[in-house]
Structure 1
Amino acid sequence: MTLKPGDINLASSGDMVKAGGVPFEYLAVLRREAPVFWNPPPVDGAVLRDVENYEPCGFWVLSKYEDVASVSKDTERFSCWENAILWIDVKQSPMALAAQRAGLMGMDPPQHTQFRRLVQPGFTPRSVAAMEPHIREEAAKVIGELAERDRAEFVFEVAAELPMILLCELMGVPQDRRNEYLELGNATASFEFNENFVEDQINLFLLLDDIVKTRKDAPDDTLVSKYVHGEVDGRKLAEGEITQFFQTLSIAGHETTRNTTAHFVRLMDEHPDQKALLLEDLEGRLPNAIEEVLRFSPPVMQFCRTATESVTLRGADIAKGDKVYMSYISANRDEDVFEDPERFDILRPNADKHLAFGTGAHFCLGASLARLQLRCILNELYTRLPDIALADAPTPMYSAWFNAITEMPVLTCPAASG
């Protein structure tokens, strides 16, 4: 079947199922035939079925690298603050809009810059480098436990462990509440499918609110404490503002690293020639291999902006108030930027040009930390278990937001396991 623009609704998880996962073929059609294309609201109902005033809306899909990058950097004409960052219209719900605006991803400069400065010192190259011995130690523990088993579910039993440990340490989540925190963070991230989304969101808020209150009287080096005792524009932040901010971080802080770790193992299994290249020089080739995985299978497929004025882009008239959908997963396979983009190549010279971490003011704050985590866990994995392989086909999430895997059984040593 030959696809044409409009055959797949990029806001519909049902269409993701029909496409078998991420619709790479359809996105290639858009890049060729309609690089700025109007995607109407999905016909399969509201994104959040039981939440008042959370309604999906139509949006302009940007599928070319140049357009995604330029709109990402143009915060005056394309706003996060105006109507949130997802393909959902929340302007009719002041509470929902306020919650979106409380996180860094929902702010525009200069406010975004001011809030980001509070925690940026913890993510400088020097600060991240100082974490490396601890991260390597924790990675060794995670892979050591995996090595004792012949078979495991890789996504949540392995890939989720290291980012969860580090995020909890950075935020000061008590040891006895870490499993609860992880479950609520995952449930909130999976809002497209979660019938208990509102309840889970409230419970995550309450858990984080407890941590914020604790840090008020007992300051330490955690990110939460920096917000509690810091100032923005000469004022202390309210507890609710701080809690909302960290609710957003609770999704972004582990979901992306977990999924990239899982995609790395999947892609090496699917491309044995590339795995052989990697194992020839693991330490030397691993950093670029990670960049190629981020290009080929970025964990976040898109974010949206709202036009603050009428704009014409590639002949398309984008009206003030229209949503604009920046397709990172399409931009990362743009033929004008990446030669033979559908080929997975860990030696690709410009693999790090990808937009998996975004670009401009909203470039991912934790990108350096994520890269370090990935290097540590994957170096440990392929040093100790170079024969790790998929036991069964992975199960995709079929999300319109995340390029995620929900289950991926692996054999740690296929020869020994028969």
Structure 2
Amino acid sequence: MNDSIQQQIETLFRNDSRRVFATLARVLRDLDLAEDAMQEAFAAAADQWPGDGVPENPIAWLVTTGRFKAVDSIRRNTKLAEISGDVVERMSRVAGTNASRAATAIEDDRLRLIFTCCHPAIDVKVQVPLTLREVCGLTTDEIARAFLTTPATMAQRIVRGKAKIRDAAIPFVIPELSELPERLDSVLSVIYLIFNEGYSASSGESVTRSDLSGEAIRLCRLVLELLADAEVMGLLALMLLHESRREARQDPRGNIVLLEDQDRSRWDHHLIAEGQQWIERSLASRRFGGYTIQAAISAVHAGAATAGDTDWKQIVSLYDVLLRIQPSPVVELNRAVAVAMCDGPEFGLQLIETILDRGELGHYALAHSARGELLRRSGNTAGAIEAFQRALTLTEQASERRFLSDKLQELRGYSEY
């Protein structure tokens, strides 16, 4: 029985700890205090629930416990004596909130926290990393990898962001409609990065984390309710189309299955249909941007009955548009792969070499993996082995490591003949 309860607590922590944190952050208005309170609440659950049983509304219980733990912490901390009265009074006002109302409020607290972290008073270079750390609980190392920078640099940015929220007393609220546009780009960037971490987990055994990608889609729907913007529609479409392929992206052993090898009958065609509808609405507005173009690229894949039926010329053309709207080395890399599929591996390989020669994406595993695959298809086995080996040193995702190791084993066996 106790083992079962402990497993429930671990599942709650994995799936819902950031929801609890977001509500505590709104109430306490201090990210560090909220983090400590959340951790203490889960520790209290591990201590009490095996004897008392799991409460009817465990999320609300954790929030309430976290509140009281924070009050105790403030009272014990003499350095915070000057603000403890204000916080304790605030705690008293909310302590009586009934569980059902608390649970309803919690649903929107992560969105409130996203808007707080994306406040225009915070440096734009800090907004997205801060949100990924505080809203999603990603580690500094994971965020640094996503931004192709060092953990030390990223840690400094996050500390600066937290200090700005505290010192400027930035409110934990969803802004007025007139204030939404200036924060929208950062908010959508955060939601997409949350989705990407769920769709292609940066580390660990699992290829995907459905809790994160599902939360990103939910948050995007909430933003769409607030603001019917074309790019919100485009991002929602993009995530739905990617999510439609989740079940086909790994085999029963948890290994990666590439897009061209996936069983397309396992794709979720309801999600595909909804995604296509949002693309049409976004395009009809004539105010669309990069997310809508990316969604259109994904829709071309979704519309192909087999990998061989993929319209790669159309995909290359869409990447040309995307590069004009949103130039980046990662977009260039994706376009290079599409060119290779359209015109032959040597053409795509030349483009990837140019990107790497510029010193960009040198620490990006997918760039070296793509180069290795194109070298393999060009017949350069030795070069492919070198590229795949480099990619292997740059990824911590277990299934990606198995995939690359299998590629290397196959190539080394082939090179012996």
Larger radius of gyration: 2
Name whichever structure is richer in strand by fraction: 1
Higher helix share: 2
Higher normalized contact order (CA 8 Å, seq sep 6+, divided by chain length)? 1
Query: What TM-score do you get using the length of structure 2 for normalisation?
Result: 0.29
TM, length-normalised to structure 1 = 0.29
